[in-house]
Amino acid sequence: MTELRNLITGFAAIGATDDGGVCRLAATASDKQARDLFLREIGNRGLVPRIDGIGNMFGVAIIEPGSNDVVITGSHLDSQPTGGRYDGAYGVLAGLLAVEEVRERCLANPGAARRNLAVANWTNEEGARFQPSLTGSSVFAGSLSLQDAYACTDGDGVTLGAALAAIGYRGVTPLEYRPVRYVELHVEQGDRLEQVSGDVAAVSGAWMTRKISVVFEGDYSHTGPMPMALRRDALRAAARAIEALYVEVARENAGAHASAARISVYPNSPNVVAGQARVWFEIRHEDEAVVVAISDRFLERIEREAREIGVGISIAADEKRSASSLDRDGVEMVRSVARDLGLKIETFKTITGHDALAIQKCVPASLIFVPSEGGLSHNPREFTTQDALDKGYAVLAETLWRMVTARE
């Protein structure tokens, strides 16, 4: 689809980085620019714009005025600092075109539609600037309060509420329709489809994720004269903890995924022994018992090892996202659509987090994957072929048609 390719290219220019990627953090100037363009696209296609209090954006196609029900599709326009052009944006832009296509199909088939349709851009899905991730969709689902979401702060102490107000997207027009289904189209961000030459995946659920932010408290001292035995080096304790995580994952030998992907150090001076360090850890596995076993052993170990070198620890955040299932009827519908279109369909759980997982808490949600070449994601070189993008779009459009017209 030329139009889809052109939209993706146009949005990729916003926040473009020198290495061909995209850096479009939530509630920044580049996010505003992308939101402004999306808002223009909504208006140009005759959709009704809505922006709620957390900045979630909707373009509504009123195709059955007698119904208060709406089927929503979408994803997110924010990115990681090292993002690519497809992660998130593909689902928003394919959703925009699919809503328009299904609306026209309904107009050509009077009486077929039973409910309305909308495309969404969810706020701060990535969690790169503000934590937790999935912020906008969690507020929409009611699992995170608006005030708690507003209070999230970035590394400079700016709150999400203030940042949204600064870019003009702390909205006052919530979606007035009753959501009955949600469908999200996304690049896989892994290589399972590629490994089996699959066209699309109907995602059945998600692995459990535990995200733990640990603060290591030592003491400041000169890196030169302070005797080694007397140093209370917070960064040393953090380094030992990072290695401990990998050791515990290997010890479990269950295929868990784990990382320590962010660290902050104070005072971060080359001549001062670090008095404080904070590390963001995470452990993922489809079996919750595996995650609990690894993380509990890990926490016990790092507390003991930090104490041995005079460093204390505290837990700044401990977020547990349970292994979850997506709507079974939605999975079967996506599988049926793919088969009818002659596509090779796979079904598996996602390792990564997506807005569909947050929305599932209040509305039956579906998640559709298309292949990611080499499984690469959160990287400027992420790539999905146009043929794969088009196949995913075809599945999305037909799935939305069936959801909008279903007599249920």
CA 383 to CA 375: how far, in whole Å?
Answer: 9
What local confidence, expressed as pLDDT, does residue 193 receive? 97
DSSP state of 287: S
Record the tokens describing residue 12, joined without a space: 């990729």
Angle at Cα 357 formed by Cα 351 and Cα 359, nearest 5°? 165
Question: Which residues fall in the annotated binding site for Zn(2+)?
Answer: 76, 87, 126, 186, 378
- Please say whether the beta carbons of 358 and 138 come within 8 A: yes
CA 84 to CA 103: how far, in whole Å?
Answer: 30
Record the tokens describing residue 271, joined without a space: 């001549």
- Look at strands 221-222 and 208-217 and give their pairing: unpaired
Which of 151, 169, 77, 134 has its CA nearest to residue 354? Answer: 134
pLDDT digits (tens, 9 = 90+) for 310-368: 999 999 999 998 889 999 999 999 999 999 999 999 999 999 999 999 999 999 999 99
Query: pTM for the whole thing?
Result: 0.91
What local confidence, expressed as pLDDT, does residue 167 receive? 98
Three-state helix/strand/coil letters over 14-25: CCECCCCCECCC
What local confidence, expressed as pLDDT, does residue 407 receive? 86
CATH topology of domain 209-321: Alpha-Beta Plaits (3.30.70)
- Evaluated on CA atoms 82, 86, 91, 92, the torsion sign reads positive
What would the DSSP string read from start to end of 95-138?
HHHHHHHHHHHHHHSTT---SEEEEEE-TTSS-SSSSSSSHHHH
What local confidence, expressed as pLDDT, does residue 1 receive? 80
CA 239 to CA 78: how far, in whole Å?
Answer: 31
* Cα distance from N-terminal residue to C-terminal residue, the chain: 32
CATH of domain 2-207+323-405: 3.40.630.10
What would the DSSP string read from start to end of 332-362?
HHHHHHHHHTT--EEEEEESS--HHHHHTTT
CATH 3.40.630.10 segments of the chain: 2-207+323-405
Determine phi and psi for 65, rounding to 5 degrees. Answer: -55, -25
Question: Which residues fall in the annotated binding site?
Answer: 76, 87, 126, 186, 378
| 298-320 exposure pattern, b = at least 16 Cβ within 10 A, e = fewer | bbebbbebbeebbbebeeeeeee
What local confidence, expressed as pLDDT, does residue 247 receive? 97
Q: What is the pLDDT along the chain (408 residues), one digit of tens a residue?
A: 899 999 999 999 999 999 999 999 999 999 999 999 999 999 999 999 999 999 999 999 999 999 999 999 999 999 999 999 999 999 999 999 999 999 999 999 999 999 999 999 999 999 999 999 999 999 999 999 999 999 999 989 999 999 999 999 999 999 999 999 999 999 999 999 999 999 999 999 999 999 999 999 999 999 999 999 999 999 999 999 999 999 999 999 999 999 999 999 999 999 999 999 999 999 999 999 999 999 999 999 999 999 999 999 999 999 998 889 999 999 999 999 999 999 999 999 999 999 999 999 999 999 999 999 999 999 999 999 999 999 999 999 999 999 999 987
CA 144 to CA 134: how far, in whole Å?
Answer: 10
Give the bridge partners for 65, in sequence order.
none
- Please say whether the beta carbons of 379 and 234 come within 8 A: no
What local confidence, expressed as pLDDT, does residue 7 receive? 98
- Please say whether the beta carbons of 405 and 63 come within 8 A: no
* Cα→Cα distances 24→15, 95, 124, 168, Å: 5, 20, 10, 16
CATH 3.30.70.360 segments of the chain: 209-321
pLDDT digits (tens, 9 = 90+) for 244-298: 999 999 999 999 999 999 999 999 999 999 999 999 999 999 999 999 999 999 9
